[in-house]
Structure 1
Amino acid sequence: MSRSATIVETIDTRELVGVGAIGRVKFPYFHMLDTDWKLELSGVWSEAAGGHLVSMRFRPEKRADDDLWELEGNAHFQIGGPFMETANFEFGFQFSNAKTKIPAENVGVWTEKADTIPVRIWVNVTVQAVRSMGIQLRSFVDFDRPLPIFSDAIIRVGGQKFHVNRMVVSMASPVLFRAFIRKEEHGMTEIDGNELAELAAIQDPRDFRRILNFIYPPHIPPKQWIKEENAEKQLSDIYRILEYARLLEINVAMEVADEWIVKFTRFKRGAALLLAQRFGLRKLLGAKISEIGAIKHVTACKEYAEFSTKTKALIFDHLMTL
């Protein structure tokens, strides 16, 4: 590992499964390199090939027309499934406002048997960014070892040491600020998580690393959230990390999570409103309330009984303006 304080992540990998008719197989949206991506496969019968020639369309989700962005890189695909030999191929790409789709022709062949049944296809995709503009590549901080200027204190969680900067973490967390003040009075610069209830609550040291990367620029959400495709598991992961951040009084974690959840998650209305209510996620709360068109849309939610008086009042105020 290099001796730099930050690591810029320019390579990302996903494993996908798509199901559909032979003419068109769709895959769920997936998130890589600060962007949602879409992938489709289609098959056209070829007598010469003795099966359906498979073509692919790969593109990022369209951004706002006035959002200037560009991403240049390389993509590698491995595709396989029943009635299809595993295919490997790669290509370079350059996505921008003007060009948001790349077709790849004849990437494989489905045999004739697949014509009569739905097909299930798996895809491994790896994308490497070479150059970007207007896209925040993940840049995460390495806390495993001390670095000059960058590190002047230690926080120990679950037996693991995190080398941090006292000013950075103290500005983000009043809890850690008070803890460092107490240590300073005794000429110490190390916080033992077992001595601080808010840190002792964190069972997995990796969760504290995720929280620290909320604190340090560029303030990124955990990759664990981004890669999780199961909505219930993703919601559980978000609750756990934000509960820890709430204990440590880290407001920036709530702000970053609020923006990311609104932009990239697709939680059901009731679950999203409860999440917003629990952690004061104002953007998420406003986004979900704005989607409500009638009182029945919210009273039908199984979570309705758990909504606070304030949340219900905001919903009714919105409905009164319709």
Structure 2
Amino acid sequence: FVVNDKSTVEYRINIISSERGEPIVNHFTLPNRRSDVIMKIGGKKLHVSKELLAVHSPVFEAMFFGNYAENGKEEVEVKDVVYEEFLDLLSVIYPDSEEIKGRTVLHILKLADRFQMKDVMEQMKKHLTQSKEFNAAKKLLIADQYRLDSVRVRLLHSVSMLRTRYRNIFLSPEYDNFSKDMKSAICDRFVKI
């Protein structure tokens, strides 16, 4: 519209999707109303909720509320964990969680397995079966490494797993890293189709 010889244009923007503007790290660098413990990882500090971590992990439940040295401490050090990878794990379990990305799947699986986070493992299973980020051989290798039997069964029995795809799996570099059980399951399924 035009007012006093000046044009004004008004736009209405409907955001369908976007990348998160604020990095997830900013949610944990300072104390907030949900944080009650500081986790020190790789020399860096994260302000997190003991309750939330304990709800998702029996390991954290024992650490924060069991008969362990960490119980009652205001600061807890977690060793053998990469800071950025732990942030990705937090981004999955916190209420304002982010969508799982292909680049994060492997380390989130590793941490979810280490900390016995069943709900996170379920999310990873769902993501793996639905994603197109990994080929069938890579998905089977991940399922094998993390004992994701439901993913393995679904992949081996999916309609899209035709003989050609099985041949590709046999020839893939991942095949050499499969367990004997996985190789046997693949061969059994190949014979049946």
Give the structure-2-normalised TM-score.
0.69
**1:202 is aligned to 2:81:** yes
Cα distance change, pair 159–266 in 1 and its aligned pair in 2 (3 A): closer
Which of the pair is proportionally richer in strand?
1
Q: Which residue of 2 aligns with 1:124?
A: none
- After superposition, give the CA deviation of every residue in 1:190-238 in whole Å (9 maximum; x if it has no partner): 2122xxxxxx2123x222111112222365445xx35xxxxxxx4xx53
- After superposition, give the CA deviation of every residue in 1:63-122 in whole Å (9 maximum; x if it has no partner): xxxxxxxxxxxxxxxxxxxxxxxxxxxx9787xxxxxxxxxxxxxxxxxxxxxxxxxxxx
Distance (whole Å) between structure 1 residues aligned to residue 80 and residue 127 of structure 2: 25
For residue 303 of structure 1, give the secondary structure of its aligned residue in structure 2.
Answer: helix
Distance (whole Å) between structure 2 residues aligned to residue 314 and residue 92 of structure 1: 55
Cα distance change, pair 257–92 in 1 and its aligned pair in 2 (3 A): farther
For residue 91 of structure 2, give the secondary structure of its aligned residue in structure 1.
Answer: helix
- After superposition, give the CA deviation of every residue in 1:149-178 in whole Å (9 maximum; x if it has no partner): x22222111222222221210122222222
Match for 2:175: what amino acid?
Answer: Y
Q: CA deviation at 1:189?
A: 3.3
Of 162, 168, 171 in structure 2, the residue corresponding to residue 300 of structure 1 is: 171
Match for 2:42: what amino acid?
Answer: G
**How many matched pairs?**
173
Consecutive unaligned residues of structure 2, counting only runs of 5 or more, are: 1-10
Cα distance change, pair 129–296 in 1 and its aligned pair in 2 (3 A): closer
Contact 2:40/2:77 (8 A) holds in 1: yes
Consecutive unaligned residues of structure 1, counting only runs of 5 or more, are: 1-90, 95-127, 131-136, 194-199, 227-233
Contact 1:273/1:285 (8 A) holds in 2: yes
Distance (whole Å) between structure 1 residues aligned to residue 97 and residue 191 of structure 2: 37
Q: Which residue of 1 aligns with 2:136?
A: 269
Distance (whole Å) between structure 1 residues aligned to residue 172 and residue 12 of structure 2: 46
Between the two structures, name the one with larger relative contact order (CA 8 Å, sep ≥ 6): 1
**1:256 is aligned to 2:123:** yes
Cα distance change, pair 93–287 in 1 and its aligned pair in 2 (3 A): farther
Distance (whole Å) between structure 2 residues aligned to residue 142 and residue 93 of structure 1: 27
Distance (whole Å) between structure 1 residues aligned to residue 124 and residue 96 of structure 2: 13
Cα distance change, pair 311–221 in 1 and its aligned pair in 2 (3 A): farther
Match for 1:142: what amino acid?
Answer: H
Contact 1:221/1:260 (8 A) holds in 2: no
Cα distance change, pair 207–240 in 1 and its aligned pair in 2 (3 A): same
**1:213 is aligned to 2:91:** yes
Q: CA deviation at 1:297?
A: 4.5
Q: Which residue of 2 aligns with 1:166?
A: 50
For residue 161 of structure 1, give the secondary structure of its aligned residue in structure 2.
Answer: strand
Contact 1:156/1:162 (8 A) holds in 2: yes
Cα distance change, pair 259–92 in 1 and its aligned pair in 2 (3 A): farther
Q: Which has the larger radius of gyration?
A: 1
For residue 76 of structure 2, give the secondary structure of its aligned residue in structure 1.
Answer: strand
**1:152 is aligned to 2:36:** yes
